[in-house]
Structure formats: structure tokens, C-alpha cells
Structure 1
Amino acid sequence: MSAPVHYLTVEDLLPTVESVLSSETDLIANMANVAALLFEALPEINWAGFYLWKDGELVLGPFQGRLACTRIPAGKGVCGTVATEHKTLVVPDVHLFPGHIACDAASESEIVLPILVKDRFIGVLDIDSPIKNRFSQEDQIMLESIVRLLINSITV
């Protein structure tokens, strides 16, 4: 399988996300476009998408990549932990994370960011990579900026 061709660069990602989100307020539409932009621009990732908080668990939302886990209980795996702690988790080696849920056996590292709207938890942004130690502090800062842009674009 060949690597995806990236036409959008990481440097162009923030302004492109801002532009795409500037004229739309629908949460699902904006999540779908953000997932597509992340999947296209970020090198060495195999999944980018969202889980939405519904009835005490995370439910699969818009994403790009291989088949995903549909539901994740609070406190389970990286996403479920972020759902309970409401803070970003960068996991350099998912195999060392207690209770990691392997939706894609190829994933080696992961970053998960909470999405809070007016202090109300609504879901997570989850990005997986087939490379250990893929996500840096700079990635975290950029992705937190993208989550803020998403939050500011929607009406809930």
C-alpha cells in the first residue's frame, strides 16, 4: 500500500482550517472537514477523527482512515481516559498505555484532545500514527489551536 499523497502542508493547515470553518456552524460538517484536512496534511498518520460524547460514552463521529471502534466507554483506552480527565494525552507508545483499545493494530502512537464547549465536554479529536513517538509538543499546540477554531465555529 502506498503512502497517501499530501497536497496540503502542515504549514498551511491552520489557515486552511480557519478558512474552511469560517462560513459553517454545523458541528458534524466542520468535524468532517477538519478530519479530512488533518488526514491530508499530517504525515505519518493512519487515522484522524472525532468521537462524540453521548449517554456516558464516546460514539464514533466523522473520521478519515480505516474502520474504527464505534463506541468507547468512559475511562477506557486513551480516548475514554481523555473523556474523564478532559485534558490532552500524547501517547508515544500505545502498547505501554494501560487498557489501550487497539482499533487498528497498525497504530503505534496517539494524541487525543478533549473538545469542551463552555466547559461542557462534547467529544474528542483522536489521531493515530503507525510510528512510535510521532506526536510532538508542537503538534499538540497546533492541534489544540485547531480544536479552538472548531469550538469557535459551531453552535451547539
Structure 2
Amino acid sequence: MYDFRPAAQTAKPELYHDLLQAAEALTAGERDGVANMANVAALLWEFLDEVNWTGFYRMVEGELVLGPFVGRPACIRIPVGQGVCGAAAKSGATQLVEDVHAFPGHIACDGDTRSELVVPVLRGGAVIAVMDLDSPALGRFDAEDRAGIEALATMLAERI
């Protein structure tokens, strides 16, 4: 059994360093991308407070399709360009949204979600997936969260 939970009150730089190390340990040498996404979704759930959904949408035949996650049931398919996840997939850029209700075209899979961080996973310059983090708290995610999840996405690009 693995126990990667961080210590209480860990500062964000150390938390994301530890998260990256745990993800590295769990995914190193594993060839199955779905298994790696599942473990990373669970790690995100364990490491981050005030989240109500952590997981992946995979790029499949030009649209985002639900991948491994932890949280309430979610939208299965998201067209590229729609919602926060679709915006990240279309632009290839991270979307950090303090208030999802102010985001034009937000797709409400969970009505409790108030803020969102979506980071594209790029391989060879193409979006292969997005990592989606939702929170019931307004403004939950900041630049440190963004940098930490972007580093994780970069590490995972060849493992999912």
C-alpha cells in the first residue's frame, strides 16, 4: 500500500515538490496511461485541500473524453473550445479561473464548483489531455498551484 499524504500545513512549494516526487514514483516504468492518470488523480485528491474534483479529460478524435478522476460523476464529452477544459484544449494554455460563473460558456458538471484550474498535457506540441482541478471555494487556485500542476503535466506527458 502507498501512503503519499503530505504533512498538514505543508507550504505550497514543498507540497508540489512532494506531489511531483510521488507521481514520479508511481508512474515510473508503468506503460499504461490510464493507470498512471488514475493514480495521479488520486494523488491530487490526497494532496490538495478544498477540491471537489481532480482528474483528466483525454483528447480522443478531436474532443475531450472523460478519463480517470476522483469526485462526483462528470460530463463525459466536452467539445474543444467549450467550457474551461475546452478552452485549455483549444489554446494549449492553462486556464486559472477564480469564479467559474464569470467564465463565458462554463459547463457546470458539478454545481458546487466555484473555481477551476485546467492544465493541458502536451506531447510534441499537441494537447493529448487536460488535467482538471475543481474547488467549491472562490479563488482557490493561484500562481503556485498553476506552476505545480504545470510541472506535473510536463512530467506526465510521456507517461499517459
TM-score past 0.5 threshold: yes
Counterpart secondary structure, 1:153 = coil
Q: Could you list the per-position Cα deviations for residues 17-75 of structure 1 after superposition, in whole angstroms to 9, with x for gaps in the alignment? A: 11111121221111010000001110000000000111221100000000100000111
**More off after superposition, 142-151 vs 105-114:** 142-151
Instruction: Assess if the C-alpha contact under 8 Å between 2:57 and 2:65 holds in 1.
Output: yes
Give the drift of 1:95. 0.3
Which of 116, 132, 136 is equivalent to 1:110?
Answer: 116
TM-score, structure 1 as length reference: 0.91
Report runs of 4+ in structure 1 exceeding 2 Å deviation. Answer: none
2:5 aligned partner, one-letter code: L
Give the drift of 1:7. 6.6
Distance 2:102 2:22 in 1: 34
Structure 2: give runs of 5+ residues left out of the alignment: none
Q: How many percent identity over aligned positions? A: 51
Give the match for residue 82 of structure 1. Answer: 88
Instruction: Assess if the C-alpha contact under 8 Å between 2:64 and 2:77 holds in 1.
Output: yes
RMSD across aligned positions (CA): 1.5
Q: What is the correspondence of 1:4-153 to structure 2 with a 5 Å cutoff?
A: 8-9=5-6, 11=15, 12-153=18-159
Instruction: Assess if the C-alpha contact under 8 Å between 1:21 and 1:149 holds in 2.
Output: no
| Residues paired across the two proteins, number | 149
Structure 1: give runs of 5+ residues left out of the alignment: 1-5
1:95 aligned partner, one-letter code: H
Instruction: Assess if the C-alpha contact under 8 Å between 1:91 and 1:133 holds in 2.
Output: yes
Distance 1:7 1:113 in 2: 22
Instruction: Assess if the C-alpha contact under 8 Å between 1:77 and 1:100 holds in 2.
Output: yes
Distance 2:4 2:37 in 1: 20
Instruction: Assess if the C-alpha contact under 8 Å between 1:91 and 1:111 holds in 2.
Output: yes
Give the drift of 1:152. 3.5
